[in-house]
């Protein structure tokens, strides 16, 4: 299943329960592949799925400075926070 489908389902469920996404802040941690060249496209895709403006998507990419499993390119980590707001009736 496409991860954007999962995200859209979560947004639809929030809408059914009277909430909407206010903004998101996401940090991606990876040595490889280099993510920075893709950030603008990723923000556009995420904002469409979340039904928010691109400027409401905070997206950063960093490395683990070759420390630990992430530093050895054994994985990629993501930390994300989403602000949900109750929709006005």
Report the first-to-last Cα separation within the chain, whole angstroms: 33
Q: Tell me: pLDDT of 89 over 70.
A: no
Write out pLDDT tens, residues 32-46. Answer: 778 889 999 999 999
**Which residue has better confidence, 69 or 42?**
42
Domain holding 72: CATH number? 3.30.1330.50
| Residue closest to 28 by CA, chosen among 66, 69, 68, 58 | 58
How far apart CA 85 and CA 3 sit, in angstroms, is 23
Phi/psi at 20 (5° precision): -135, 160
Q: What pLDDT is stored for residue 61 in this prediction?
A: 86
Q: What pLDDT is stored for residue 30 in this prediction?
A: 85
Number of domains the chain contains: 1
Q: What is the pTM of this model?
A: 0.82
How far apart CA 4 and CA 51 sit, in angstroms, is 12
Q: What pLDDT is stored for residue 34 in this prediction?
A: 85
Write out pLDDT tens, residues 18-33. Answer: 999 999 999 988 887 7
- Domain of 77, in residue numbers: 3-86
């Amino acid at each position: 299943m496409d991860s954007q489908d999962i995200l859209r389902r979560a947004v639809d469920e929030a809408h059914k329960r009277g909430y909407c996404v206010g903004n998101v802040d996401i940090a991606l941690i990876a040595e490889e592949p280099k993510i920075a060249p893709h950030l603008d496209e990723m923000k556009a895709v995420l904002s469409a799925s979340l039904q928010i403006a691109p400027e409401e998507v905070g997206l950063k990419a960093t490395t683990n400075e070759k420390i630990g499993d992430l530093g050895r390119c054994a994985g990629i980590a993501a930390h994300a926070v989403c602000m949900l707001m109750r929709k006005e009736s």
